[in-house]
Amino acid sequence: MTLPAEPGRGPDFRTTALIIASALFMEQLDSTILATALPTMARTFGVSPLHMGAALTSYLLGLAVFIPASGYIADRFGARRVFSLAIVVFTVGSMLCGQASSLPFLVAARVLQGIGGAMMVPVGRLVLLRTVSLRDMVQAMAYFTVPALLGPVVGPPLGGFLVDYLSWRWIFYVNIPIGVLGLALTHRYIPDIREPLRAPFDLRGFLLSGLSLSCLVFGLELASRGEAAGPGVLPLTLGVGLVVGLGYAFHARRASHPILDFSLLKVPTFGLSVAAGSLSRITGGSLPFLMPLMMQVGFGYSAARSGAITFATALGALVMKFTGPPILRRFGFRRTLVWNGLIASAFLALCAAFRPGWPHLLVYGVLLAGGFFQSLQFTAYNTVAYADIPQSRMSLATSFYATFQQLMLSMGICFASGILALSMALRGHAQAMLTDFSVAFLAVTAVSILASPLCLRLPANAGDAMTGYREGEA
């Protein structure tokens, strides 16, 4: 077994965080570039832009199904080896996406990408959680996410340029050099940490959870289109997903070491982060789908022009990473999550009022501020969730948290697409109009507001060891 370096010593945790973040950068760059290209790809495949949501949800499906196994696999084969293989799988999946000749082919290639992503980001986060001391955790997470946030900043304008002046296929080919560089740096710098295996792999739980998540995501995708895939297909798919999910819940209560351990939800900081974070991520998942679609379909902008505007959200998130730790240290996790969640929701609601006649500077300002506050919210969730998790359960916790994180992002895309389709049907619109997008933005805003009351239930001292915050100092 290769042991990790002493936690927090010297610049090691910063170097590790930045290298691991190259994988997250590649993943985020891929998703934001793809969102900008969806309308153009829909024309290539001869389908409705609403159907292109499958290209996003299929990737998230691959993540949700295979993330539960990531912690066990990292402990069994070593974090560096698994992380390296994940980069290879993701890069190969990207190459196949660039060769797609139909939507089903693209969906299959995106699932392969998702399998790579399922091992890439959770295992990378696990390395940080096991090598960084609590006092350095907030700063390490900030370093971890800064390069990743460059993906959403670069993605929209780069995607618009590639789509308008080259081909949408190049949005996937750009992952190849990034993957090669990340692989080389991983072998040189990432420690090959692993924990002793204390239990056998929960194969039955893996199969049950995988089948349930697959059926639920696929069923939600069908429902979001507003069309019937065939007699009884939708209720059968969702029904199987729910029944098998209940079967897994029964299995998890009896199994000594379930692959998704629901007993982790009894830890207050972890359980509330999962619950409130799930509501926020439904909203977060909808934005990369709704905003480029509104700019191109609703406003009539080109992909390049759309990308040049929507990148402001990611720019705001990037700015937050330099101010997030002081904010959390000043106000603490509970106060930040409650009030920041309401502020982020307010800026999201303003997007419903966007119209082509708005000054671009004002649109940029709203998106910049919205990206800042939304990113602060997710950084706080992602950090405080592990405040009270012991090292012996860290693998299970990261797998569980990441699974629900990706499931909620997938649900966000389906929810936004479904509201859009419903609004179109009720108003008799053959194509999505600006009023339909406004309804969708207000609907996802309503979901995000529900998270703040849940955050009030966090302990007053939640995560204090991570930030140095003390009640009464704010």
Contact 205, 255 (CB under 8 A): yes
Are 301 and 358 found together in one domain? yes
User: Is 5 a member of any domain?
Assistant: no
Are 113 and 172 found together in one domain? yes
Query: Tell me, what CATH number does 316's domain have?
Result: 1.20.1250.20
Are 379 and 462 found together in one domain? yes
Provide the mean pLDDT of the chain. Answer: 79
**Residue 236 identity (one-letter amino acid):** L
How sure is the predictor about 10, in pLDDT bands with cuts at 50, 70 and 90? very low
User: Is 4 a member of any domain?
Assistant: no
DSSP alpha helices (H): ranges in 166-202? 170-173, 175-189
Residue ranges making up the domain that contains 412:
12-201+259-467
pLDDT, position 443 = 92
pLDDT, position 196 = 63
Per-residue pLDDT for 4 more than 50?
no
User: Is 132 a member of any domain?
Assistant: yes
User: Is 420 a member of any domain?
Assistant: yes
- Nearest CA-CA partner of 261 in 216, 331, 323, 199: 199
pLDDT, position 310 = 75
Are 76 and 90 found together in one domain? yes
Give the whole-angstrom CA distance, residue 115 versus residue 378: 23
180-239: per-residue pLDDT in tens?
A: 888 887 777 776 666 666 677 888 888 898 888 888 877 776 666 555 455 566 778 888
> Which tokens go with 370?
């919205």
**Residue 121 identity (one-letter amino acid):** V
Are 236 and 165 found together in one domain? no
Q: What is the pLDDT averaged over residues 95-99?
A: 90
Give the whole-angstrom CA distance, residue 27 versus residue 201: 27
User: Is 331 a member of any domain?
Assistant: yes
Instruction: Name residues whose C-beta falls within 8 Å of residue 468's C-beta, 6 or more positions apart in sequence.
Output: 135, 329
How sure is the predictor about 326, in pLDDT bands with cuts at 50, 70 and 90? confident
pLDDT, position 407 = 77
Are 17 and 126 found together in one domain? yes
Q: What is the pLDDT averaged over residues 270-286?
A: 87
115-148: per-residue pLDDT in tens?
A: 888 877 777 777 776 666 666 666 666 666 665 5
Per-residue pLDDT for 342 more than 90?
yes
Q: What is the pLDDT averaged over residues 333-357?
A: 90
The total number of structural domains in the chain stands at 2
User: Is 127 a member of any domain?
Assistant: yes
Are 285 and 328 found together in one domain? yes
Are 236 and 216 found together in one domain? yes
59-76: per-residue pLDDT in tens?
A: 877 777 787 787 778 777
Query: Helices 12-45 and 268-293 meet at what angle, rounded to 10?
Result: 40
Last-in-domain residue among 258, 291, 306: 258
Q: What is the pLDDT averaged over residues 455-470?
A: 73
Are 148 and 246 found together in one domain? no
In the chain, what percentage of residues exceed pLDDT 70? 82
Contact 462, 138 (CB under 8 A): no
Are 70 and 146 found together in one domain? yes
pTM for this one? Answer: 0.70
161-183: per-residue pLDDT in tens?
A: 888 778 888 888 888 888 888 88
Last-in-domain residue among 258, 274, 299: 258
Are 196 and 247 found together in one domain? no
- Nearest CA-CA partner of 125 in 16, 2, 281: 16
User: Is 372 a member of any domain?
Assistant: yes
User: Is 3 a member of any domain?
Assistant: no
Per-residue pLDDT for 96 more than 90?
yes
Last-in-domain residue among 258, 283, 302: 258
Give the whole-angstrom CA distance, residue 415 versus residue 438: 14
Alpha carbon of residue 349 to chain centroid:
21
- Nearest CA-CA partner of 288 in 311, 256, 264: 311
Are 130 and 270 found together in one domain? yes
